[in-house]
Chain A
Amino acid sequence: MKNGTLVVFKKEMARFLGDKRLFFTTVILPGLMIFIMYSIMGQSMSSLVKDSVEKQYNTYIVNMPAVVSRLLEESNFDVTEIAENEIDGTKDKLKSKDADLLVVFPADFEKNIASFGQEGREIPYVEVYYYSSNMVSSAAYSRITALFDEMEQGISNVFDVNPDTENTMYDVATDEDTTGTLFASILPMVLLMLIYSSCMAIAPESIAGEKERGTFAAMLLTPVPRGQIALGKVLALSAMALLGGISSCVGTILSMPSLMGDVMESGDGMSISLSAYTPGDYAGLIVIILSTVILFITIISVLSAYAKTVKEASTLVLPVMLLVMFAGLSSIYSSEAKTEIYWYLVPILNSVQSLIGIFARSTGTVNIAVTAGVNIVVSAIGMLILRQMFNSEKIMFAR
C-alpha cells in the first residue's frame, strides 16, 4: 500500500536532489564557505600573532637604568633613550604607530632600588605606555611587563611561583580539555545559526512557495490526509537541512586546525585534537542536531504556512533567527554546560546547553535525552498546528 507521507517525502526529495543549483547552494556552499572563511580568518590571525611576537618593538625609555639596559640588550626591544620633555611627543608617536612602547623610570630609580630594605623608602613607579589598538604595541606591553615582574622578583625574592617551566607542565589540562573549552565556547552558536539558515533556505520556498504558485492546492485535492502531507514535507525538509548542517559541520571541523591550531601553537603549545571525542559524544551530537533540525523546520514551516508569499515568510522567520542567536550567545559567556534540568526544557536554549556540554565533554545522557524529547514533543505539536493550517481554507486560500 502506498503511503501518503512517503509519496510526499519522495517528491520533495526529488525536487531538491534534482535541482543541482539548489543542492549546491544548500548543501555544498555552506560547508565550502565556512571552510574558506575560517581558514582565511585562521591564517590572518596566526600571521598577526606571529608578527607581533617576532617583530622588533620600537621602544622609548626615559631615565633608563643600567640593569634594564642590560636586560633588554639581546631582546627584540629596539631601545631609544629619550629625555623627560619628549614624553608627550612619544605618546603621539604611539598613536600613529611610529612607536610601540614608552617606558618612564623615575630619575632616582637605581639609587632607590639600591636602598631596598631600608626604612622609609618610597616605592618607585615605573610607567609603561602602549597603544592597545596596535597588536604589536600590545604584544610589546605584555612582554615588557612580564620582564619587569621577573626583574622585580629577582630583587625581592620572597618566594617563587612555577619556577621550572622548562621541565614541569604546570597546566594540568590535557589537549582534550583545551579542545573542549574552545569548541564549547564558539561552536554551539555557529552551528545552530548555520542549521537555522539551512532551514530558512528551503522551508519557506517549499511551503509558502507552493502556496503562492498554486501548486499546493493540487496536493490538497488528493485523498492523502493533511497530516501526512505535513509530515512528509517536514521530514523531507529536515533531511535536506540536515545535509546542509552536516556540510557546515564538516567545513567547521576541517577549518578548525587553521582557525585555532596555529594561534594556540604560537601561544603555548596547546593544540586542537578531534580525537578528544568519544563515539558517545558523536552520538549525542547527532541526536541533538537531528532533533533541533526537525524543530527548526517545523517552526519555519508553520510560519511559512501562515505567510502568503515566500517573501513574507522570509521576513517572518527572521525574529526566530534572532532568538537562536541570543540563545547561542549564552554559550560564549559560559563555556560550562548548565546542569539543572530546567535549562533543558526550553527549546533552542536546551540545544545550546546540550551542545556546550557535548563539546566540553561534560554532558549527562539525561540532559541530552530531555533535550531531544522536548524538541520532538514541541515539533509534534507544531506538526499538529501545521495540519490544522493545511486544513484551514483561510490560511491556504487567503486572498
Chain B
Amino acid sequence: MKEVLKVEGLTKSFKLSKKQQKLENTDTKIKTAVKGLSFSAFEGEIFGLLGPNGAGKTTTLRMLATLIKPDSGDAFINGTSVVKEPEKVREKMGFLTSELKLEEFFTPNFLYDFFSDMHKIPDDVREKRKEELFKKFGIDKFAEVKTANLSTGMKQKTSLVVSVAHDPDIIIFDEPTNGLDVITAKVVTDFLLELKAQGKTIIVSTHIFSLVEKICDRAGIIIDGEMILCDRIDSLTKEKNLEDLFFELYFQRKGGDI
C-alpha cells in the first residue's frame, strides 16, 4: 500500500489574547492546540481523526492544507513537504470545511470555472468534469443561479464540487456532515466512498463515532492535541464499540472526571 500522507510530529500553539484567555478559562498565554502528532494515511483509504471539540482536529487539518504553518514537525503528501513546498501540495490536495465559503455573488458555473482556472486546468478537461459533477449532484439545473439564492444543501454541494474541481489525489474534509440535513449528509458520505473507490486518499475529522465506523478504514483518536490511539477500525472495535473505547481512553486520561 502506498503511503500518500505522512505526518511527523506536528506541533502548533497559539498566543491567546486576553479575550481568548477568558473564553478558554485559562491564565496561560500560550495554548498548544496540537502536540507532536504523527500518523500516516494510505492510497485508497479513508482516515478519520476522531476527537471531542477543541481536541485540535481543525488545527491539524489546516496545517495539512497549508493554510497555517506548524511550529515544528512536518507532513508529506506523496513526499512533498507542506512546510517547504506548500504551492506544490495545493495542486494535488482538496480541502473542505464549513469555514470556507463561496462568494455568494457568483453562480456555481462561474465559481467552478474560477477555481479550475486557479488550478490551471485546461478548458476541455474542465468542461467535461464540470458536466459530470454538476449532473451527479443535481447542480446542473442551478448552474446559473447566484449562490446566494441556492438552498443550503445546494450551496454545500457546490462547495464540495468546487473543492474537487482539480481532481486532487488527497481530499481533506473537516467535519464533513456537520450541519447537513440527512439527505445531503448521505450524498456527501456516498461521494467520499466513491472517491475512495477511485483510489483517492481521504482524511476526515469528526466527533461522530458512527460516521467513523461507517466510512473510515483507519482512525486516530486525539484528545488535547495528542494522538492517543491510531489503528484500523476493525482492530479498534474488536472488543468494544468505538464509543465505549473512546470514553474509556478519555476517562483514563482525564482521571475520571469530566
* A210 at interface, CB cutoff 8 A: yes
Give residues of chain A (1-35) contacting chain B, Cβ–Cβ below 8 Å.
1-2, 4, 7-8, 11, 14-15, 18-19
Binary per-residue interface labels of chain B (100-126) against chain A in the complex, 1 for a CB within 8 Å, 0 otherwise: 111111100010001101111000000
- Cβ B91 vs Cβ A7 within 8 A: no
| B67: Cβ under 8 A from any A Cβ | yes
Say yes or no for A373: interface residue by CB 8 A criterion: no
A220 touches B67 (CB 8 A): yes
Interface residues of B (CB under 8 A from A): 20, 62, 65-69, 87-88, 90-91, 95, 99-106, 110, 114-115, 117-120, 162
- Asked if A2 and B103 make an inter-chain contact with CB atoms under 8 angstroms apart, the answer reads no
**How many angstroms between the C-alpha atoms of A237 and B110 in the bound complex?**
20
Task: List 9 other contacts, CB 8 Å, given A215-B102, A222-B119, A393-B69.
Answer: A19-B105, A214-B99, A217-B67, A218-B162, A221-B66, A221-B90, A223-B87, A223-B90, A396-B67
Distance between A350 CB and nearest chain B CB, rounded to angstroms:
37
A-B contact count (CB 8 A): 64
Q: How far apart sit A8 and B20, CA to CA, in the bound complex (Å)?
A: 35
User: Given A213-B101, A218-B115, A221-B67, A14–B110 Cβ distance below 8 Å?
Assistant: yes
Judge whether B100 and A217 touch: CB under 8 Å. Answer: yes
Q: Which of A2, A15, A18, A222 contacts B90 (CB 8 A)?
A: A222
Taking A2-B120, A4-B118, A399-B20 as contacts, is the C-beta distance between A221 and B101 under 8 angstroms? no
The answer to whether the Cβ of A323 comes within 8 Å of any Cβ in the partner chain is no
**A219–B120 CB distance below 8 A:** no
Are A223 and B67 in contact, with the CB atoms below 8 A?
no
23 pairs across A/B with beta carbons < 8 Å?
Answer: A2-B117, A7-B117, A7-B118, A8-B118, A213-B101, A213-B104, A215-B101, A215-B102, A217-B67, A218-B101, A218-B115, A219-B118, A221-B67, A221-B90, A221-B95, A222-B90, A222-B115, A223-B87, A223-B88, A223-B90, A223-B91, A223-B119, A396-B67
A7 — which chain B residues lie within 8 A by C-beta? Answer: 114, 117-118
User: In the assembled complex, which residues on chain A have CB atoms less than 8 Å from the CB atom of B69?
Assistant: 393
Q: Does residue A36 face the partner (Cβ distance < 8 Å to B)?
A: no
* B104 surroundings in chain A (CB, below 8 A): 213
Chain A's interface size range is: 20 to 34
Q: Out of A8, A19, A218, which one reaches B102, CB within 8 Å?
A: A218
**Given the contacts A4-B118, A11-B114, A393-B67, A221 and B100 also touching, CB distance less than 8 Å:** yes
The minimal Cβ–Cβ distance linking A88 to chain B, given in whole angstroms, is 69
Q: In the complex, are the beta carbons of B100 and A397 less than 8 A apart? A: no
Q: Is A225 an interface residue (CB 8 A)?
A: yes
Q: Known: A223-B87, A225-B87. Is A397-B105 also a contact (CB below 8 A)?
A: no
CB distance from A195 to the nearest CB of B (A): 25
Inter-chain contact B110/A1, CB cutoff 8 Å: no
Bound: A218/B62 CA distance, A: 12
